[in-house]
Structure 1
Amino acid sequence: MELSIDTSTRIASVSLSRKGKMLSQISWESEQNHSIELVPAIRGLIERNSIPIDSLKFISVASGPGGFSSLRVGMSTAKGLSQSLGIPIIAIPTLDLEAEPFRSLGLPVCSVIQSGKSRIYFSVFDSSDPIEYKVSEISEFPDMIPRKLILCGEGVELVSDAVLKKYGDGVKISKLHNPSSRIYSLSKIGYKRYLERDFDNIDKLAPIYLRSSQLANAQKNIKGVK
């Protein structure tokens, strides 16, 4: 049995899976309350499915980019469970999770999530290029992507009109974002990495921060711990 945790954005999710196949999941919209809501959600999910917590084989967690506080809550909870249960932890970038359902369709995939009021996080997934996670002003985004691709993710509606205006039918847009789609991908990719014994080092593991303000806050927290 596996537990997956995603608190990257206001849409939070937790799930239980067996060998990468979803058994039960909870998704909810959180308004800066991840720290209050996450542990009760995990406890409720485990109790509702009558799963002994010591039967968990590993923890998968979405590592960002995303909201600074929300990412910290998910990551610290996952690391705490990993340490207390003595099981591996596997962290997977949030933009990878958004792109996963579209990676086999034969086009580059660009996943997008919101970063504040006027910015987005995004990444273009193409087999010929290394993966790079970026932050951009919404107005500048169309000039930073290829002409032909699949556009997807929680933040796709923020950029779809501008992208279609610039590139037309060359861009395929997935507008029907399923709030729980990331947690399905997290379970699937997490189990694949578990079989490969591709675990993360819990002492070095940290969320992916891209904005300068997030990096500054992260450095302050690190200094405060020392």
Structure 2
Amino acid sequence: MLILALDSSTSVGAISIHNDEGLVAEYNLNLAKTHSQRLMPQIISLMDDVGVTVDDLDGIVVGIGPGSFTGIRIGLATAKSLAQSLEIPIISLSTLDILANELVYIDEYICPIIDARRNRVYTALYHEVDKLGLKKKASKDQMLEVKELAKIILQELSNKVIFIGPATKVYQETIEEILGEQAIFIPNHYDLPRGAVLGRIGSLKLKAGSQHELMDISPNYLKRAQAEIDWERKVKKES
């Protein structure tokens, strides 16, 4: 089974190819170029390096956010187009799941955070593993103010919590002010979603028989786009 995994919901274009034996290759590019410029060339380049074509694929795995609205749309459109044209199964995953499973062998609670701007983050809590050996959600994906998140953890948990994700650099000081030594921050090379992790999760789920209908897969935005909010305000003012 040859699987293509891709996620473009953050600044990183994360892609990988997996077969029955595991990871074959991955690219993780954190560059200034937009995903619309680089995602398909990145996929083609990786396939060329591996020596396969899209016709060899047996399944697609895609990260659906939360994160950048534009990045999510680009990645999801690319993945769905490939799955539809090739008539192969597709599975979608929260980008928070990708981050949490960077630390799949860690026993502590894991709290991935992605910047939602205005002192807010996209987040969820993870603890223990499921029957596939993947991190289990202890809370749903949600958007919270950083201070609110830290206060909830302080009130609800006595355990140490490992924070991971691209927003850790931005909000580490704020979180530590509330949680102190209860908050653990790890080296920042774990803070970006990796194609290898996404591919591993997706491969395990596809092999276990999981897949999603194309029409049922939608972006995991967690909030409305700012352009939509601005347009609604404009209409109200003019009416």
Give ranges in structure 1 of 5+ residues lacking alignment: 221-226
Q: Is the 8 A contact 1:103 1:109 kept in 2?
A: no
- Give TM-score scaled by structure 1 length: 0.86
Hey, what does 1:93 align to over in structure 2? Answer: 94
Relative to structure 1, the CA distance from residue 174 to residue 215 in structure 2 (aligned partners, 3 Å threshold; closer, same or farther) is: farther
Hey, what does 1:55 align to over in structure 2? Answer: 56
1:1-226 correspondence runs (5 A): 1-19=2-20, 21-31=22-32, 33-116=34-117, 118-126=119-127, 130-145=138-153, 146-147=157-158, 148-178=160-190, 181-213=193-225, 216=228
- Give the superposition deviation at 1:54: 1.3
Q: Is the 8 A contact 1:32 1:70 kept in 2?
A: no
Q: Is the 8 A contact 1:20 1:191 kept in 2?
A: no
Q: What are the Cα deviations for residues 161-202 of structure 1, in whole angstroms up to 9, with x where unaligned? A: 222222222222223234665322111110111111100110
Separation in structure 2 between the aligned mates of residue 137 and residue 62 of structure 1, nearest angstrom: 23
Amino acid at match of 1:192: L
SS where residue 212 of structure 1 aligns?
coil
Separation in structure 2 between the aligned mates of residue 201 and residue 17 of structure 1, nearest angstrom: 21
Q: What are the Cα deviations for residues 83-130 of structure 1, in whole angstroms up to 9, with x where unaligned? A: 111110111100011011324322211111112353211111135975
Relative to structure 1, the CA distance from residue 197 to residue 38 in structure 2 (aligned partners, 3 Å threshold; closer, same or farther) is: same
Relative to structure 1, the CA distance from residue 149 to residue 180 in structure 2 (aligned partners, 3 Å threshold; closer, same or farther) is: closer
Larger mean Cα displacement after TM superposition, 168-177 or 64-73 = 168-177
- Give the superposition deviation at 1:210: 0.8
Q: Is the 8 A contact 1:154 1:177 kept in 2?
A: no
Q: What are the Cα deviations for residues 3-57 of structure 1, in whole angstroms up to 9, with x where unaligned? A: 1101011111111121372221212124462112111111111112211321111
Which structure would you say has the larger Rg?
A: 2
Q: CA-atom RMSD, angstroms?
A: 2.4
Q: Is the 8 A contact 2:14 2:193 kept in 1?
A: no
Aligned residues: 218
Larger mean Cα displacement after TM superposition, 127-136 or 52-61 = 127-136
Q: In percent, how many aligned pairs have the same letter?
A: 26
SS where residue 51 of structure 1 aligns?
coil
